[in-house]
């Protein structure tokens, strides 16, 4: 009995040894989730006034605001993260001096394209295109973010037998 207890403790300690743990996987693609979580934290600290415009159903409303939750405001960008385990290997990556592009190979993956623009190696803009389609419903989202300048969320939805709906949210810092 004592021998079994020692073997159990040895096995338990061996499993907790950092050398025996599998390596943490590095994200395969650009880390949208971490980038926008960091941006939300940064903007929460800075607390900038945002000139926010919402256009829905042909009506426009504009206000200057201090946003309470940048995490909530940027959640659409975080949700578009392309490093989901199920999507591993589903994107083609192209690089040049100023643009990093990811294009989905699988029609079932809703994030179709991610463009990361750089100027002097710093991110100057991110554009994300998301499309969902089934027999009853089609939607297209275009998310744009320009650090320190503005963000833009455009959505178009078409539900069968109903008129197309479009809305846009723009925030200018």
b vs e for 72-94, b when ≥16 Cβ sit within 10 Å of the residue's Cβ? Answer: ebbebbbebbbbeeebeebbeee
What pLDDT, on a 0 to 100 scale, did the predictor assign at position 26?
A: 65
What pLDDT, on a 0 to 100 scale, did the predictor assign at position 22?
A: 38
Q: What is the pTM of this model?
A: 0.82
The tally of domains found in the chain comes to 1
For residue 6, being part of any structural domain is answered with no
For residue 5, being part of any structural domain is answered with no
Distance from C-alpha of 135 to C-alpha of 89, rounded to nearest angstrom:
27
- Chain Cα centroid distance, residue 150: 16
For residue 165, being part of any structural domain is answered with yes
Distance from C-alpha of 38 to C-alpha of 59, rounded to nearest angstrom:
33
Per-residue pLDDT averaged across 93-104, rounded?
95
For residue 2, being part of any structural domain is answered with no
What is the tens place of the pLDDT at every residue in 49-85? Answer: 999 999 998 899 999 999 999 999 999 999 999 999 9
Distance from C-alpha of 112 to C-alpha of 12, rounded to nearest angstrom:
44
For residue 103, being part of any structural domain is answered with yes
Which position has the token pair 């963000």? 151
For residue 10, being part of any structural domain is answered with no
Per-residue pLDDT averaged across 20-26, rounded?
45
Which position has the token pair 């295109």? 129
For residue 8, being part of any structural domain is answered with no
- Give yes or no for residue 123 having a pLDDT over 80: yes
- Give yes or no for residue 10 having a pLDDT over 50: no
Higher pLDDT, 103 or 164: 103
Angle at 104 between CA 118 and CA 115, to 5 degrees: 15
Residue 108: burial class (beta carbons within 10 Å; 0-12, 13-18, 19+): exposed
For residue 35, being part of any structural domain is answered with yes
Compute the chain's Rg from CA coordinates. Answer: 22
Give the structural domain span for 51. Answer: 28-172
């Amino acid at each position: 009995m004592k021998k079994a207890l020692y073997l159990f403790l040895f096995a338990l300690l061996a499993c907790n040894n950092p050398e025996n743990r599998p390596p943490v996987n590095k994200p395969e693609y650009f880390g949208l989730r971490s980038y926008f979580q960091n941006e939300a934290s940064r903007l929460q600290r800075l607390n900038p006034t945002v000139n926010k415009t919402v256009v829905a159903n042909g009506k426009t409303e504009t206000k200057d605001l201090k946003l309470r939750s940048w995490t909530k405001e940027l959640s659409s960008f975080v949700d578009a993260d392309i490093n989901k385990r199920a999507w591993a290997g589903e994107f083609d990556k192209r690089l040049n001096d100023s643009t990093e592009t990811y294009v989905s190979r699988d029609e079932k993956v809703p994030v179709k394209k991610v463009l990361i623009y750089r100027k002097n190696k710093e991110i100057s803009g991110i554009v994300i295109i998301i499309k969902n389609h089934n027999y009853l419903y089609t939607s297209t989202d275009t998310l744009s973010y320009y650090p320190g300048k503005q963000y833009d969320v455009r959505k178009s939805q078409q539900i069968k037998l109903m008129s197309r709906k479009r809305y846009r949210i723009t925030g200018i810092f």
